[in-house]
Amino acid sequence: MLLVRSAEKEGATVANRVEFGLRNTFNDFKEAQSTIKQAVFLYNNVRLHQHLGFLTPEFVHQAS
């Protein structure tokens, strides 16, 4: 069971990289910083999270 869960988690990690436009390499630090900043914004403000009742983390944070 642990092996399956681990594989599922790794699959989700790969899917998240694609979803947020992240690659394994960047041309320079500024490009990496900008891309990661955008990915964090999308994750917190756009992407709906099942464990939050299909709300965004930012919405839940503002409502509390």
What type of residue sits at position 26? F
Q: How far apart are CA 39 and CA 31, in angstroms?
A: 12
Q: How far apart are CA 14 and CA 27, in angstroms?
A: 20
0.85 exceeded by pTM: no
Q: How far apart are CA 53 and CA 43, in angstroms?
A: 15
Mind listing the pLDDT tens digit for each residue in 10-41? 455 556 677 767 767 888 999 889 988 998 89
Tell me which of 56 and 17 has the higher pLDDT: 56
pLDDT (0 to 100) of residue 16: 66
pLDDT at 62 over 50: yes
pLDDT (0 to 100) of residue 49: 92
Q: How many domains does the chain have?
A: 1
Question: What is the extent of the structural domain holding 48?
Answer: 2-63
The percent of the chain in helix, strand and coil, each rounded to the nearest 5, is 70, 5, 25
What type of residue sits at position 11? G
Rounded average pLDDT over 4-11 = 45
